[in-house]
Structure formats: structure tokens, C-alpha cells
Structure 1
Amino acid sequence: MLEVKDLTAGYGETLIVREVSLRLLSGRLTALCGANGAGKTTLLHAIAGLIRHSNGQVLYQGKDIGRLPAHARARLGIALVPEGRRLFAKMTVAENLEMGAFAARGRGRDADTLTRVYELFPRLKERQRQAAGALSGGEQQMLAVARGLMARPAVLIFDELTLGLSPALSLDLFRAVRRLKEAGLTMLLVEQNVHIALAISDDAYVLHEGRVWMSGEARTLASRPEFQEAFLGPDSTVSDQPTI
């Protein structure tokens, strides 16, 4: 569905990711792992059109979209839930969701999407008239995800889904992502909790110093000794994590 081929990108003259190739298969959840500074956010921004890449291609449904700006990619169905949430703090929950639906005009009914979003995050329905800035950190992240879903994306991209959240709230969000995967949504996940990210993902890529270090099916990758040493610890396994 979405493919990156030999992508090189960065900021100004500083290149962060180099010759990265990655493929998102339809209906599958792909985890993107790597240490801080490995280039994960830069890669997501290049896919979403927030920065221009200097070499390579971004293909969506077989067509090169590398020259399209971010808003055009959003209208095609590529949605990014950014690190830091970036909500409209003074607007209500409902108004933030309405803003999320703007990119999807002409692709379906907002009311139906809103119903599904509130089913996924019932807490947001309870707080729909509250200002986004008055929500807890976990509720704000739920709203950021819900706003992305209001665009009715074909591909949903998460940058640090649970950063700064409690374990309980993190599990709520992981369960929501799992439900979205079961519904057949194609997703790319950058997540600090590598254990759970791999447990719920189908495929995974690892970036190291801006390049793909390894890739494969998530559980197979997690069992590789060099991956465990780098990310999971010598005595840890994916199955050690809480049930989601």
C-alpha cells in the first residue's frame, strides 16, 4: 500500500536518514524501532510530507507522491498522529475532532466516523464539550489518535504513541491500536515500549544511525539475539509483557 524506496532526507544540509527502504502492507501494523536520534521521526515526517526528501521515492498505491505537500497526502488518506499531540487547546474535544475530519471531505460521512471514534474512546464522548487543554495527558493522546481517525485514513502513522503516559493509559492506547488492526487499518507505529510494540505488530523495521539495520516479521525479529541485546535485555521476551 505504501512504500519507501532508498529514501534520503534531513533538515537543511544535515541528512538524518539515508537510503531507507520500507514497505507497509495493507491491513498490517508495522513497528519502527530505533534508539533516540536514529531517524524515526525524520522518516515519518518525510512520509507525511512535512519535510522534503533529497533522494528516493515515497510510493502510495504504486504512485510516487514525493512531490506532494502534506495536505495533499492527507487528502489521499495518509494521517500522522505526531509526537506532542498538537491539539487546539482552547477548542473543545468535539471541535478538535471536526478539524480532523477536514482532510476527509468527500470520502465518507463524518457522523459515522464520529460514532466509531467514540466507541473506541468512550471517555472522549463524555468530555466532548470540554476544552482539549483541560484533559489529562492520556485523554489528550486519545484525542490526538481520534483526530487522526476522523480523517478516515487508509494509512495511520503514530509517532511515540504513549510517550509520557502511565502504564495503565498506555495499555488503553495499545488496546485501541490492536482493535484498529483487527479492523484492517494499515498502520506504522513508532513507540518507546519496544516490547509491546512488537507484541502487537505484524512487521518491524529497526533504524540505526539513519539506516535500516534489520527488518522482518515482528516476533521473528524480537527473537534475534542482536535485537534482544540492543532493545529488550538478555532475559526478556515479547511474551513477558502484559496481556493487551
Structure 2
Amino acid sequence: MTADAWTLLREFTDARIALGRSGASLPTKEVLNFGLAHAQARDAVHQPFHSDDICHELAELGLPTLTVESAAPDRHIYLSRPDLGRMLSDESREMLKTNQTRTNDLLIVIGDGLSSHAVHRQAVALVRELLPYTETLGLTLAPIVLAHQSRVALGDDIGEILHCKAVAMLIGERPGLSSPDSLGVYLTWKPERKRLESERNCISNIRPEGLCHKAAAFKLAWLLEQAFLRRLTGVKLKDESDNPALHQIVKPLSQ
């Protein structure tokens, strides 16, 4: 096998660099590793979402939950009809209407998206890190909604019914060949079904090997504070949480 001059750089990244070669091809080990990574990504997409497990973990934090389904009745239709994943099923819509009590500041939706594996590993840990910030900001929380067969925009549909001022959709991201468990967060001010993708902010690659839960919670809290001050999210709200001069009430917990 011919070694690669970049081999030392592999300890700093999960990217497929410095794989070496055997003749005109890759070494057998790297071919097998690629096949394993591809299988893990496919499994992440098709793994069932065990929302009951998430409910139990959130209950231990004292957080009530509701469970809904999108208009996509199964995984096959969900993958072939993205539009159905953006809207609630009729049964879930009626259930949410009966559970709407008062207007809350923040709604957290946890959706399986394209990787329920990511949700199982990252979602509760992120919520746990976020709770001190919501207390600092004095935000009232709606019951956390667990959504099956969900796309990002499903949070707008749910938030509109529950009359929440902002919605944070925690959702499994499309798996990469080195990151089948990456969680994304999409924050939208005044959620409603006509919202555009440009009207929300995204925090991506949330996982221990990427953006850790603690750092992601701070970014989300900073964006929440700014969203409530400016009454907007999206392209008009830039993430400048890395600038200490712009920290107001929300500051990293380590400070």
C-alpha cells in the first residue's frame, strides 16, 4: 500500500482524506469502511422513531409532551412526498386544537426528519442544556411536541395551531458518510404555514464530534433573545453569538 503524505491530518477530521492506495484502487480496509458508513447512513434514514423513549426522558426533566404525525402515513411515502411531511395529519391537527390552552413564548418540536438516530442521541441532551437559558430569558414553554415523519416546515404548522411566538424545530439532518447522527435546529419567529425557508435560522451539525450540545444551546439561546428583541428570524438575523460585545442577557454558562 502506498502511504499518503496527508496521513497525519486524519486525526483532525472525519473527512475521507489520506486513504492511501493499493495499485490503482483504494486499500481493502477503506473500501469496507466506506461500505459501512454508507450502510449506517441508510440505517439512520430508515430507523423507526421511538418517541416514547424521548417522552420518558423529557418527563424526567419535568417537561410535558404531545405526539403528532405528519400527513405522510409511512416512511416510503415520507421519502417520496416531502410536501406531506410539512403538514399535519387531520387527526393530529384536531388533537392539537383540543390541547391549545394559552399563548406561549417558545414551542420546541422534536422531529425524526432524515435521522431518528440523531434525535435519539442528541435531542434531549440539547434541551437539557437549553433549559437554564429559557429560565434566564423568562420564556414560557409550550408542551414539547414529538413529530413522526416530519420535515422542517411541520414546526410552522404546529406553532400556528398552538399560537406560539417562536418555534425551534430539532430534527435529524440528512446523514453524511461520516455523520449519521447529526441534529439540526431551525428557529422561526411567529410560525405559520406560509413561512419561507429564508425566514428561519439554522444551527447544524449538533453532535459531540461537531457542535457540542452546550455550544449549540448557547447559539440557540442567543438567537432566541435576538428574535424576541427584533421580532424576526431568518436572513435578517445573523448569528453573531461568537462576538462577546453583542452578548446581552444570554452569555455562555461557563462565564
Q: Normalising by structure 2, what TM-score?
A: 0.25
Q: Which structure is larger by alpha-carbon Rg, 1 or 2?
A: 2
Q: Normalising by structure 1, what TM-score?
A: 0.25
Which has a greater percent of strand? Answer: 1
Q: Relative contact order (C-alpha < 8 Å, sep 6+): which is higher?
A: 1
